[in-house]
Amino acid sequence: MQPEISDHIFYSFLTGGLCASSSTTSTTTTSSFYPFAIEDTVSQEKALAAQRNHKEAERRRRERINSHLNKLRKLLSCNSKTDKATLLAKVVQRVKELKQETLQITDETLPSETDEISVLNSEDSSSNEDGRIIFKVSFCCEDRPDLLQDLMETLESLQMETIFADLTTVGGRSRNVLVVAADKEHHGVESVQFLQNALKSLLERSSKSVMMGHGGGGGGERLKRRRALDHIIMV
């Protein structure tokens, strides 16, 4: 290792601080006592030009990378003095977040192919303080025009208040996520059963029902699902 470096340095010294490629080292050591032989001058010039190109190419490469890093800084609204490493860490995090976010919207909110019902007692402790029980309701079923109305009537008959509702229907299937509140006067934890049963009958009505009237003008083939969303939020 050391002799290589010594050679290298010696040659560098002769060429005025710029290193030639190590492959020419032998030639150089020979010619170093007969400096500026014509062939060597030519090859030195070539090598010099090569090093120069190399240097500039590397500079351009650095600039390219840094320019992209600066773009990322702007996109994440980071200070221009943010560390390269921490910047990249933030970028990784951001990409993960955004990926999951869009995935959640496109996938989790889309209805499943099979009918499903899920009623959960909300574990949010803060919502249990005000004398109400919070349930999170979620179900998938075949869509029909009066599903929403039926659902509301069902909840009303159970004396439950809809705090939040997320109803997604695509390609004839519907996914419904609701957060409902029930007075502790009328309801206990066992009301989960009431809800489940009510939803079950709702789904049964759904599966027997016909599909939305305006859906199939022409052929009978089922329309392909579109990757688009349609929302109703109630708060």
> Applying CB under 7 A, which residues contact DNA?
4, 8, 12, 17-23, 50-51, 53-55, 57-59, 61-63, 65-66, 83-86
DSSP 79-97: -TT--HHHHHHHHHHHHHH
Give the CA angle between residues 166, 198, 154 to the nearest 5°.
Answer: 65
The CA distance from 110 to 106, in Å, is 6
Q: 99 touches which of a second copy, DNA, none (CB within 5 to 8 A by kind)?
A: a second copy
List, in sequence order, every residue forming a beta bridge with 11; answer none if it has no partner: none
* Exposure on the CB side of residue 195, measured as CA atoms within 13 A: 29
Q: 22 touches which of a second copy, DNA, none (CB within 5 to 8 A by kind)?
A: DNA
The CA distance from 20 to 28, in Å, is 9
- Give phi and psi for 137, each to the nearest 5: -110, 140
**Which residue lies nearer to a second copy by CB, 41 or 159?**
159
**Which residue lies nearer to a second copy by CB, 18 or 39?**
18
Measured N-to-C along each axis, helices 147-157 and 191-208 cross at an angle, to the nearest 10 degrees, of: 160
Q: 26 touches which of DNA, a second copy, none (CB within 5 to 8 A by kind)?
A: none
Q: How far is CA 29 from CA 18, 35, 38, in A?
A: 16, 10, 15
Minimum gap (Å) between residue 68 Cβ and a second copy: 4
**Which residue lies nearer to DNA by CB, 18 or 192?**
18
Q: 189 touches which of a second copy, DNA, none (CB within 5 to 8 A by kind)?
A: none
DSSP one-letter code for 105: I
Task: Specify the residue for token string 């050391």.
Answer: 2
**CB of 158 within 8 A of CB of 182?**
yes
Cβ atoms < 10 Å from Cβ of 175 = 20
Q: 105 touches which of a second copy, DNA, none (CB within 5 to 8 A by kind)?
A: a second copy
Residues in contact with a second copy by CB under 8 A are 1-2, 5-6, 9-10, 12-13, 16-17, 61, 64-65, 68-69, 71-72, 75-76, 84-85, 88-89, 91-92, 94-96, 98-99, 101-102, 105, 109, 143, 145, 148-149, 152, 155-156, 161-162, 164-172, 174, 177, 181, 212, 214-215, 217, 223, 225-226, 228-235
Minimum gap (Å) between residue 99 Cβ and DNA: 23
Minimum gap (Å) between residue 7 Cβ and a second copy: 10
Minimum gap (Å) between residue 95 Cβ and DNA: 19
